[in-house]
Structure 1
């Protein structure tokens, strides 16, 4: 399900409306105001050299500027739970490969367009990797002999919830969902319903599909036939509420365990306990697949962190 989530996220950022919100909301550079988003186009990564390994985690946009020039946005969606210490090196490689491709397409080029590299990180751990390539070089030598390169880091877990709520746009709604706990999920859905209703129909349905994937389920088949009203998010919120109740019911395992330890329950209950334990394990697997922290899963299910790690 994590792969479905990742593909869904990439599909969202293949829509220029969301890319525009991302840049205008979080990249406070003067050139952002000069982008002509009506002429933006996705770059076909299949033309990049064979050394470039196509993944589901990158999106490249060609963004014309109102001045007549252009720049490229290289958006890398980092879904790994661990932080890549060599991200600056990795991004530098990608950009060099992009330049190779552009030069091959047009051998008469005498200059290269700027590329703005963005790493969008949705993991739980703090992002600790250097954003500057030079910080990976040890020991340092005079700076003019070390490539000067830096990527723009956007870590969702560093965004304050109140700031996201203040933005009131689709990109902030996505980040709110990504950073919400299980308990906050239904209320977050309610908070972003009005935002979703302002989204274009195609992107709206893409967002809702992604939302269903985040809870480990396929979107309902009737999604494409439903009008763009509050009905779909309400369905999603109801499903989340049922899931929370199921988790709460499974939480009775602790009480049963205590009773067994005190000898108050007979052997026939052991089978029931075993079934409930298996149910809790299955719940833990689902929550783990959605990227929830081990501690939160342990708090919800009552299972030990060691057992959850082994699942």
Structure 2
């Protein structure tokens, strides 16, 4: 076990103690205070968290124990404020009951779409989050997403478009989801939303298609430039031009030039 003494959050000294086979760390965070501070308990909490974070940044895998100590020598006597973090809240009793507890976990990976669908409006993005990393056809879970027509009727149009954009991104990640399947999925969206939303779906799909065409053109142009650079490099290599000149003229790397020689 090691005891690391920190004074005012600025100095660290580690003292090894023979205690057990495991190595642990205990920090003594000492702060001298010449004025009274109603939020002192919160300040100390910040110091403790900072020490723990710095400990992890040093490569440790677990948090250390931090023992805070305040040496008070102010004008008011005795120290007029509480040392409990709960008293820094507007409602200390409520804070003590619900704050600084273990975080609540919603594990979407172990929940069925039917369970998620009981979460109201939050279920829309939750279903998308759940299936984001899956490489499967969206038709296996699209029904749960579109059920009850809630996507458009109960959320804002901008949020609806964000959901649609995220869905299309997921479709692009699915190995077996091609253009035809994406078109079928969008058609299902059109059938599942109110009439006023159908135009939004089609307009957004057309915008994505246009962007895809523009990206395709850019990729084609880049590929064409690459092919021209390769042909130029071949000619320059055949003419025994210095490699540095070829690299500067074509942008090709040494590895790419070596491949052209074989």
Q: Could you tell me the TM-score, scaled by structure 2's length? A: 0.31
Q: Which has the higher contact order (CA 8 A, sep 6+)?
A: 1
Q: Which has the larger radius of gyration?
A: 2
Q: Could you tell me the TM-score, scaled by structure 1's length? A: 0.27
